[in-house]
Amino acid sequence: MVETIQWTNEGVVMIDQTKLPHVVTYVTCRDYKEVAEAIRSMVIRGAPAIGVAASMGVAIGFAHFDGGDFRAHLDTVCETLARTRPTAVNLFWAIDRMKKLAIGMEGRPLAEVQAALVAEAQRVYEEDIAINRQIGAHGGPLVPDGKHVLTHCNAGALATAGYGTALGVIRAAVEAGKKIAVFADETRPFLQGARLTAWELQQDGIETTLITDNMAGHFLKAGKIGCVVVGADRIARNGDVANKIGTYSVAVLAKENGVPFYVAAPISTLDLTLASGDLIPIEERAGAEVTHLFGVHVAPEGIGVANPAFDVTPNRYVTGIITEKGVARAPYEVSLAGLAGE
Amino acid sequence: MVETIQWTNEGVVMIDQTKLPHVVTYVTCRDYKEVAEAIRSMVIRGAPAIGVAASMGVAIGFAHFDGGDFRAHLDTVCETLARTRPTAVNLFWAIDRMKKLAIGMEGRPLAEVQAALVAEAQRVYEEDIAINRQIGAHGGPLVPDGKHVLTHCNAGALATAGYGTALGVIRAAVEAGKKIAVFADETRPFLQGARLTAWELQQDGIETTLITDNMAGHFLKAGKIGCVVVGADRIARNGDVANKIGTYSVAVLAKENGVPFYVAAPISTLDLTLASGDLIPIEERAGAEVTHLFGVHVAPEGIGVANPAFDVTPNRYVTGIITEKGVARAPYEVSLAGLAGE
């Protein structure tokens, strides 16, 4: 299995997800600014992986700190990392976790703080893999045997520290002996499905059919798909789910065709401060991601473009939210708060 | 306005739609086999334009006929053209029309037959433009003022002899003074929306926002879209509509959000021999259209791919079918037969 992100003595090493699948190359981020840039430019992406990267970003932000205003430096590092991408709440969750640890250690010898931050970032990494295994254990039994699973974007090992959320559910179902195959939406504009999901699943020997996003409805109608499983970037208190643009469409088409639609995400993806998905900030990315494909300009010069990177799926389309603590079902206000221990 | 296809003394001249929008180049087909190849390779595409091309293909198939077995030659020409693409019924409609004329003239001097076929092909061309204007006249009033229109694929001047079906409706609404703007789905894998629709509308000065296919649901939910208008490749007797892959998804999402979904197509797109859309043959095209973008291989080597070029939208999602003879509404069994004069 590929390593998505690793803490090393040289810095934070990430597989460059903008280059996959044909070029497998690694980027080493030697300070927090490089980590921030890697998150912004989607060298690393996927809500849980962004959380891990941000943790390591805070740790490396203190690795080179030579003393001075501790709190000012902490704020600078955390704000730089927080300003990269607005939608995935795991980013802010990870930064907050690291920040609380640092503040609690203020005044202690710098080397001690530095070591503690590195250890905490490593813990975020290791916990994430364990969480994904638990998500798989809860979700695997929900996957119908002998049918296709449809997934959108990449919620796999590459979107996490390892194993994956949505793909973790698929992996767990396969490990349990179920005969399933996958339809992978290519996921324009960034092609996470074509470039990352198809690649991951192929390496695992899981039969995968790549389709363009606009084919998902056709295959859902054709009765080929037993369930849909996707990841999430932020889940509001009422169970509304922000995830990669196109997720809402898949959810509506699944419901229309009587196909269960599951969201697989760690508890850290819940944002119980938001009453509904309408309050989740949706990142708008550069239009060039839509108009240019691998350097080729496919649209007429000067055309208007929209590029919202995420959409919000209202809770009524969500059959269940698979977390490491169990599967939440409607009414989500109750079930999510319960799983989150509130 | 661009000329999609033209009969000339050198042959059938078509704008090469595989190269637009950045390379504007023309292909001259000097015999019927070249016309067939141009249809197959999508140098020309769009159901009405394919019909015009096939008409001209039959005409050019006789332009070089030097005598011999008239009926055998006619069959060869017609079968070669018919075997290019299976879904758009306008192809078969046009070939039948030309074939009937030829058979009716069998035994007459060859030069007379040749001239009549050329004249008939020109008539198909001219009638198509007139039909599109009438579709526009019937459909323009249905477009809500002051909102966006969503369209999928290209059902514009480039998909017809000129003016367009779906884009004809939009053009007519704009000509009537309505303030509308367009969301154009890019339409993977062939990118007809990004490359053709955006280009056509930009030339007409109609405000256009290019989006990836998976964004349409997001903007329909956001309440930005007053209606959807698309073309069609074949419409069954019950009003089920085969059109470019992704149309079904847009129709479901439109209905879910209370947005009218219109299909604009000439009567020649009706196939009253088919009871429902389940009987419409769906073309499966090469997987490389999905895995390769402008020569760049974006998916892992050896991955499975599906590439159905069309899908079928059940009649219950269709608010109205706009033809040159008026707007059909449910129950379509009755309304379509009435418009077709049966």
Q: Return the residue matching tokens 């060039």.
A: A288
Same domain, A332 and A197: yes
Domains: count for chain B:
2
B25-56 pLDDT, tens digit per residue, is: 999 999 999 999 999 999 999 999 999 999 99
Mean pLDDT of B159-164: 97
Tell me: do B168 and B287 sit in the same domain: yes
**Mean pLDDT of the B11-32 span:** 97
Reported ipTM exceeds the 0.85 cut: yes
Residues A150 and A268 in one domain: yes
Q: Which of B72, B106, B133 is the last residue of a domain?
A: B133
Is the separation of the CB atoms in B262 and B169 below 8 Å?
yes
If you ran DSSP here, which 8-state letter would residue A315 be given?
A: G
Residue B10 structural domain: 5-133
Strand A296-297 and strand A225-230: the pairing is unpaired
B240 at interface of A, judged by CB pairs closer than 8 A: no
**What's the rounded Cα separation, in Å, for the pair B147 and B174?**
12
Pairing status of strand B181-185 against strand B11-15: unpaired
Show which of B78, B113, B133 is a domain's final residue. Answer: B133
CA of A213 to nearest chain B CA: how many angstroms apart? 6
Q: Is a pLDDT exceeding 60 seen at residue B1?
A: no
pLDDT (tens digit per residue) in A169-194: 999 999 999 999 999 999 999 999 99
According to the model, what pLDDT value does residue A64 have? 87
Task: Return phi, psi of residue B170, to 5°.
Answer: -65, -45
Q: Are residues A153 and A108 in the same domain?
A: no
At which residue do the structure tokens 């324009």 appear? Answer: A188
Q: Count other C-beta atoms under 10 Å from residue A7's C-beta.
A: 18
**pLDDT, tens digit, 9 for 90 and up, residues A101-154:** 999 999 999 999 999 999 999 999 999 999 999 999 999 999 999 999 999 999
* Tokens 């707007």 -> residue: B327
Give the Cα separation of A8 and A12 in Å (integer). 6
List the CATH number of the domain containing B278: 3.40.50.10470
Q: Which of B92, B108, B133 is the last residue in one of the domains?
A: B133
B214 and B291 housed in the same domain? yes
Same-domain pairing of B116 and B191? no
By annotation, the residues of B acting in catalysis are: 233
Pairing of strands A270-271, A234-236: parallel
User: Please, what is the average pLDDT of chain B?
Assistant: 97
Residues A265, A116 share a domain: no
Do residues B320 and B202 both lie within one domain? yes
C-alpha distances (whole Å) from B254 to each of A8, A60, A113, A141, A249 are 50, 48, 55, 34, 10
Shared domain check, B173 and B83:
no
Residue A307 CA to residue A289 CA, distance in Å, equals 8
A contact test, residue of B249, B284, B293, B305 with most A CBs within 10 A: B249
| Cis preceding-peptide flag for B144 (omega within 30 of 0) | no
Is residue A253 within 8 A of residue B213, CB to CB? The reply is no
Which of B21, B183, B293 shows the shortest C-beta gap to A293? B293
Q: Which of A22, A188, A299 is the closest to B297 by Cβ?
A: A22
Residue B285 exposure: Cα atoms within 13 Å on the Cβ side: 23
d(CA B197, CA B237) in angstroms, rounded, equals 29
Residue B83 shares a structural domain with residue B151: no
- B240 burial level (CB within 10 Å; 0-12, 13-18, 19+): buried
Q: Are residues B160 and B304 located together in one domain of the fold?
A: yes
For chain A (length 342 residues), average pLDDT per consecutive 10?
89 97 96 98 98 98 92 98 97 98 96 97 98 98 98 98 98 98 98 98 97 98 97 98 98 98 98 98 97 92 97 98 98 97 82
Same domain for B237 and B328, yes or no, is yes
Distance CA A90, CA A80 (A): 15
Angle at A138 between CA A133 and CA A142, to 5 degrees: 125
Asked if the C-beta of B246 comes within 8 angstroms of chain A's C-beta atoms, the answer is yes
Question: What CATH number did the domain enclosing A50 receive?
Answer: 1.20.120.420
Inter-chain CB proximity A208 and B303 less than 8 Å: yes
B297 contact A CB<8A: yes
Give the nearest partner residue to B245 out of A199, A218, A290, using CB atoms.
A218
